[in-house]
Chain A
Amino acid sequence: MKKYVVGAAVTLVYIAYSFGIRNNHSKPVIAPTLPTKTNNQQASTGGGSSTQSTGSSTASSGSASAPSNQTKAAAYKDGSYTGPVVNVYYGNVQVAATVSGGKITGVKFLQYPHDNPNSTYINSQARPYLKQETLAAQSAHVNIITGATFTSEGFIQSLTSALSKAN
C-alpha cells in the first residue's frame, strides 16, 4: 500500500513537472534528431552491425537518436542533409531534411514506397495525403486508453530513486 502512495505522489509531482515544462513555450529543450554530418556516432547495436553508408556526399546517416530524455541544446547546422536509401521491406525510403535557423524546416522524401512518382515535400505537397481537424472532446465510452505517457519510466524511476535518497 505504501508503494502505491509513493507511486501516486511521484506521479503527481511528475504531472506538475510536466505542466511546468509545457507552459514554457519559448524553450524547446529536446534536441531534434536527424542525420548529421558526423560519422563517429554510428550505432553498433548487437554484434556486428554494419555502418550504414550514404550515397550522398552531404551527409551520413544513423546517428540520430530516438526520443531522448536528455536535455540538450539544439545544435544543428543549417543546410540540406540527404539520408541513405533505406529498405523498409515494403520498398525504399529516402529522406532529405532541411535545417534552417537551427531547426528542421522541411523533410523531403526522395523515395517513397507509395505511388507518388517524385518527391513529397511535407510542408506543402503532403497536403493531399494527410487530413487535418481541430481536436474535440468525445463522449464515447472506451475500453482502453492510449496517449502520451505521463508515467515515463525513466523519469519515475530516477525520481523515485532521488526521493528515496532524500528520505
Chain B
Amino acid sequence: MISLKNVSKLYNEGRPNEVCAAQDIDLELARNKVTVLTGPSGSGKTTLLSMIGCLTRPTTGRVFVDGAMVSGLPEKFQTELRRTKFGFVFQRFNLIRGVSVIENVMLPAAPLGPEYHELRERAQSRLERLGLGAKADMPIEFLSGGETQRAAIARALINDAPVLIADEPTANLDTVLTERFLEIVGELQSEGKTVVMTSHDPRIWQSSHVNTVVRMQDGRIIGVDA
C-alpha cells in the first residue's frame, strides 16, 4: 500500500548544521497490517513516519501510496492526500486548547465543508465508540491523559482514512491505558485499517496486535521482523 524507494532526508541542507535523519531507505508497508518503527531516540523513526504520512518530503527518493508517486506533489495535494488517506495521533496528542472535545474531533474535516449536523453526528459516533460520548462538549483541557489520547484517536478517524499514523502513542500512558490502546488498534485492524506507529516501548512491539517491527538506527533500517 505504501512504499518508499531509496528515500533520504536531510535537514538544514547545505548549511554547517546539516543532519541526515534518514538514509537510503527502502520499505514496503502492507495493507491491513500493524507496523511499528522502533529504535533509540535519534534513529530517524519519527522522520520516516513523517515521510510516510506526507508531512514532509524526502530530500531524495520517492514515496508511493497505492502505486501513485506522492513525494513530488505540490503541497496542496499532499495536504489533500493527508486528509483522505491518513489519520494522525501525535506524541503530545496536539489537540487545540480552548475548543471543545467534539470540535477538536471535527477540525480535520472542516475545510471540506461538510454539512454541519452530519459532521457533528459523525464526530459524536467516533467519540462514543471510544467511550467519550458524554464528554463531547467539555473543553479539551478537562480530559485526563487517557481520555485525551482517545479524543486524538477519534480525531484521526473522522475522515475515515484507511491508514492510522501514530507517533509514540503510549509514551505518556500507564500499563492499563497502553493495553486499552492496543485493543483499539486491534479493533481498527479488524475493520481493515492499516496502522503505522513509532514506539520504543517493549509493551508495544511485543504485543500480539503488531504484525511487523522495523528496527532502525542512525537513520537506517537495521532489521525487519515480521
A and B physically associate: no
Name A's B-contacting residues (CB within 8 A): none
